[in-house]
A and B are shown apart, each in its own frame.
Chain A
Amino acid sequence: MDYFFELFFSGLSKGSIYALIALGYTMVYGIIELINFAHGEIYMIGAFTALIISGILTILGFNKISILILATIGAVIYSSAYGFTVEKIAYKPLRGSSRLSPLISAIGMSIFLQNYVLLAQTPNFVSFPELIPEIKWLEPYSSFLGSTDFVIIVTTAIVLVLLTILIKFTKIGKAMRATAQNQVMAALVGVNVDKIISVTFIIGSGLAAIGGVLIGSHVGQINFYIGFIAGIKAFTAAVLGGIGSIPGAVLGGLVLGWTESFGTGYISSDYEDVFAFCLLVLILIFRPAGILGESTQQKV
């Protein structure tokens, strides 16, 4: 039974990370119908930035909690900045062109960013400092629920609540929902579409950065390539839940996390990545709208 709970919580924590990254995909797709291939790299850059900042602060002798907070803030700021910049360079000039061009541009950006970090930092795995402190009162449950798992789950939950408040109750959230529904109309009623698109990218990137910090602390090492695999999986999660739907992204992330966890736990650990891809293919073939999505009829 212990084993089951272990798999449950590790699936939950993995799923939370996927959810954080998936939110970025789903929000961007919802607003400009683009698969932001480079989003995984934004996550990776968040992790690296956190690594660099925490490295400096560790050497300077800061304490663990402040390092964690400062590194996370730094990662969020930088990932958001990168997301913002990527949109301005690779996607904005292509608004209105065929579906193929932005996709190729996104792939190119993804490859560029991967190699940018590879060259500027290192191609090797780098160890990520343990930023998340041991939580004392979790001790009795440590056989199936570790401290990092716990922090990941709680952080994600808090972030989701904040995001929901933003989307549902603020003016900017309203503008984002309007732009996602109908860009032209939103512009006509006075929404600054460019700004809203940038905001979407910024928020999505920030969430991915948090995921990057958490995963770095959890796994203990990162390299320039983690964005690719995490990106595909998170995209799977977004599609699974219903692309464009924020609760969908979360649901999708959790389903994927548990599938991988229980799959590797009970079936086979060699094919871990295959689970995600198979899920993706099956969902797109049988229910492209996803669990929570609505199927849209094409207007003829």
Chain B
Amino acid sequence: MDIGGNMFEEIKKSLKVSIWFMFLTFPIMVIKVNLTDKVIIWRWKNLILVGIGSFFLSFIWRYLLERKAKKAKKEEMGIGQTSIFLKIFNNPKYAKPLYIIFLLFILAFPFIFSMYQTNIMISALIYVMLGLGLNIVVGLAGLLDLGYVAFYAVGAYSYALLNYHFHINFWLALPIGGLLAAIFGIVLGFPVLRLRGDYLAIVTLGFGEIIRLILENWDEFSFGPSGISNIPRPSLFGINLGVKESTIFIYYLIVFMSIITIFVVNRLQNSRLGRAWIALREDEIACQAMGIDKTKTKLTAFALGATWAGFGGVIFAAKTTFINPASFTFLESAIILSIVVLGGMGSIQGVILAALIMILLPEYLRAFSDYRMLIFGASMVLMMVFRPEGLIPSSRRKYEYDPTKR
């Protein structure tokens, strides 16, 4: 942004923006009508806030857009840009100690912090698992799934219902939940094989909502909106633990599951299957021309992605001991999708970071809790405009091939 002669122009622009927003938000921000008492409340403070806020924000907005354009130009000319993040994470010298410290912190967590914090951390880690699972579908295979929450619900309700009807315990329910979710993944994946990006997104959204509505209305099956309660926590070698011990137990369980998930996803990413997924994502036509069976590859992605949601669902049910359809709305799918996209499509570290930020930040910024969703929505827009590659963009593996060692 050129300062000096153009300063006047810039101020004029921001002024126009400010006036526009003051006009735009006037009815909703300023006026509140109370028909029963025949009163109109005028909140002029809001008008001033909008005016000043938009004035300054428009400077920042234009500046950031310019920076983005400059960066795009540089990329076109072949000058690569690597962020600091990527440099740190890809350099094993820095990355390894970081990971170890982080892991130790996670392992020690329940003893440093309170039960309440531990519960929050359990939530965050469940979302890490969900994010990594969806990452397979969206990040690697490029299949836009807006109904991922359906598989989460399948996992949760399988445990709840199997336990209710057949007294199946947690440990048996865990693999069953994952398996059932995988089956649903294939069933839901089959009809959408031919669909392009946006259409796929909407159909999966539709599926997710259909499942939620069925859970809400088919009372005989799912007990409707009142849900299922008294879901038992996992037992340790047959011993039922108290609340505190259970929580710690579940905590370490989810840490363990997360580590396994990271391990599995990492292996999948750099395998024949992983490459097939990325080829599918990059160019569906070319990937078929290279001998990849599109159907098999897509269904595998759906099934595997769904499996992790199933596991997550079982653990969620065991943690909260009560589930109802309200936990499985489209908003949940949107949150999990955001975790994947904002973290960096296909990037394991990015997804983990995004999940932790998404869940922990609102908890620790309680003062702003009313604005949580507002900030969430705004961040989605801002990230897509300014940093679509995500917090930690994914990078492909570099192979060291030494021709002399044959």
Q: Which secondary structure characterizes the binding site on chain A?
A: helix
Residues of chain A from 248 to 299 with CB closer than 8 A to chain B in the complex: 270-271, 273-274, 277-278, 280-281, 284-285, 288, 298
Least CB separation from B33: chain A residue: A55
Interface size on A, residues (CB 8 A): 66
Q: Which one of B117-125, B305-313, B334-342 contacts A?
A: B334-342
**Structural contact, B65 and A55, CB atoms closer than 8 A:** no
User: Quick one: CB contact mask for A78-90 with B, threshold 8 Å, 1 for yes?
Assistant: 1001100100011
User: Quick one: CB contact mask for B10-43 with A, threshold 8 Å, 1 for yes?
Assistant: 0000000000100111011101111100111000
Least CB separation from A298: chain B residue: B285
**Structural contact, B380 and A105, CB atoms closer than 8 A:** yes
**A285→B376 CA distance, assembly (Å):** 32
Q: Does B213 make an interface contact (CB < 8 A)?
A: yes
Contacts A99-B198, A284-B195 given: A116-B384 contact, CB under 8 Å? no
Residues in A neighbouring B92, C-beta threshold 8 A: none
Interface size class of B (residues with CB under 8 A): 35 or more
Q: Does B262 make an interface contact (CB < 8 A)?
A: no
Distance (Å) between the CB of B199 and the closest chain A CB?
5
Q: Which secondary structure characterizes the binding site on chain B?
A: helix
Residues in B neighbouring A74, C-beta threshold 8 A: 27
Contacts A35-B202, A51-B33, A300-B285 given: A271-B384 contact, CB under 8 Å? no
Contacts A55-B40, A281-B207 given: A110-B377 contact, CB under 8 Å? yes
Contacts A45-B28, A120-B28 given: A108-B202 contact, CB under 8 Å? no
**A281→B138 CA distance, assembly (Å):** 20
Residues in B neighbouring A101, C-beta threshold 8 A: 384, 388
Residues of chain A from 101 to 118 with CB closer than 8 A to chain B in the complex: 101-105, 107-118
Q: Does A49 make an interface contact (CB < 8 A)?
A: yes
Contacts A103-B201, A108-B379, A129-B35 given: A277-B337 contact, CB under 8 Å? no
**A110→B334 CA distance, assembly (Å):** 11
Contacts A239-B202, A281-B207, A284-B195 given: A104-B213 contact, CB under 8 Å? no
Which of A111, A119, A280 has the most chain B CB within a 10 Å cutoff? A111
Least CB separation from A127: chain B residue: B35
Distance (Å) between the CB of A220 and the closest chain B CB?
12
**A109→B379 CA distance, assembly (Å):** 9
Least CB separation from B146: chain A residue: A107
Least CB separation from B331: chain A residue: A111
Least CB separation from A117: chain B residue: B28
Binding site for B on A (CB under 8 A): 33-35, 45, 48-49, 51-53, 55-56, 58-59, 74, 78, 81-82, 85, 89-90, 93-94, 97-105, 107-121, 127, 129, 228, 232, 235-236, 239, 270-271, 273-274, 277-278, 280-281, 284-285, 288, 298, 300
| Pairs A–B under 8 Å by Cβ, sample size 29 | A33-B198, A52-B28, A52-B32, A78-B24, A85-B20, A85-B24, A94-B384, A100-B341, A103-B144, A105-B384, A108-B378, A111-B331, A111-B334, A111-B377, A112-B374, A112-B380, A115-B374, A120-B25, A239-B199, A273-B213, A274-B210, A277-B206, A277-B209, A281-B207, A284-B192, A284-B195, A284-B202, A284-B203, A288-B199
- Apart from A55-B35, A59-B33, A116-B28, 14 more pairs, CB < 8 Å: A52-B28, A55-B33, A56-B33, A89-B381, A99-B197, A100-B197, A108-B380, A108-B384, A111-B373, A118-B373, A119-B370, A127-B35, A284-B202, A288-B199
